[in-house]
Copies of this chain bind each other. A is one copy, B any other.
Amino acid sequence: MAAMHVSHGLYEAFLAVARAGSFTAAAHTLGYTQSAVSRQVQSLEDEMGAELFERLPRGVRLTEAGRVLLPHAEAVRDRLAAARAELASLRTLDGGLLRLGAFSSATASLVPRAQAAFRARHPGVVVTRVEGPSVKHLGLVAAGEEDLAVVGPAPAAPPPPGVTLHHLLDEPMLVALAQGHPHAGRRAVRLAELADEEWIVGHERLEDTLFRPAVAAGFRPRTGLLAHDWIAKLGAVAAGLGVTLVPALAAASVRRDVALVTIHPDDVPYRRICAAAPSAPTVAATAFLGLLRETADELIPPTRS
């Protein structure tokens, strides 16, 4: 177990001396005295077990060992400088990595818009995005494997320790009908008008968004059909098998042969969308969170409290 207490000053002194060709001159450029440089070089020589400089009456000259050590010392100095620069660029958002998570339908417009704005302002930051269910993202943020996540449909349980939820927006739901449906042309419907419809849901238990307002409207929706992704859901709607709820932000990506109808403000279901950030968020994560808020306010102005 050798190599203890080896300070970088030793290598800096070595490099300065190698560059200047003299202890005294190197000491002057380093702001030290000549004796300090002399002893630093001696320490490094003891440490390395070899003479690094040949002492001449008029300065010093690198020995073979010194010539061998020189490129290594330069590489170490440069590498440390690179590390410092990279850390600094991390602070100023000129570099670094932002690991993002989002549930599937958040990637329709909210996350991509914020991501585009972020890319425009901080082109040096690499952004990775992973889709998946919200619960999974909450765990990843808690585990420190994601820096920020957009979660929605499961704020029921309290967030894991070390994760704080930031409310982004409450997304109104639209109802999707087949084009030939009687209500297809209307501007807005009451939820009660759809009490006899067959509702196509994703996960039976998670469709809290539907059930709560429906019960408030006085009926319990029939949920015979289960479809796990949007393709299947809207395909079933288009085929006239039933109706379903579509989040407003995903409206643009709905197929043409499906009609979207607004729900009356008094009983429109809302989906609460949050961002999950660790207790000590990254600079990039904080910046992205701000952009997420701006994007959310642009898409759906925060009229509700």
Contacts and interface: CB of A to CB of B under 8 A. Distances in A.
Interface string A1-45: 101111111000000000000000000000100000000000000
Contacts of A272: none
Interface residues of A, number: 46
A90 interface: yes
B50 A90 contact: yes
Nearest to A54: B280
Interface string A58-78: 000111110111001101100
Interface stretch (A80-88, A133-141, A234-242): A80-88
B90 A83 contact: no
A68 B86 contact: yes
A48 B84 contact: yes
A49 B91 contact: yes
A282 interface: yes
Nearest to A70: B83
A64 B3 contact: no
A64 B50 contact: no
A13 to B, nearest CB: 12
Given A8-B3, A83-B69, A280-B51, A90 B76 contact: no
Contact of A79 (B31, B75, B147): B75
Contacts of A269: none
The 3 closest A-B pairs by CB, nearest first: A72-B83, A7-B7, A6-B8
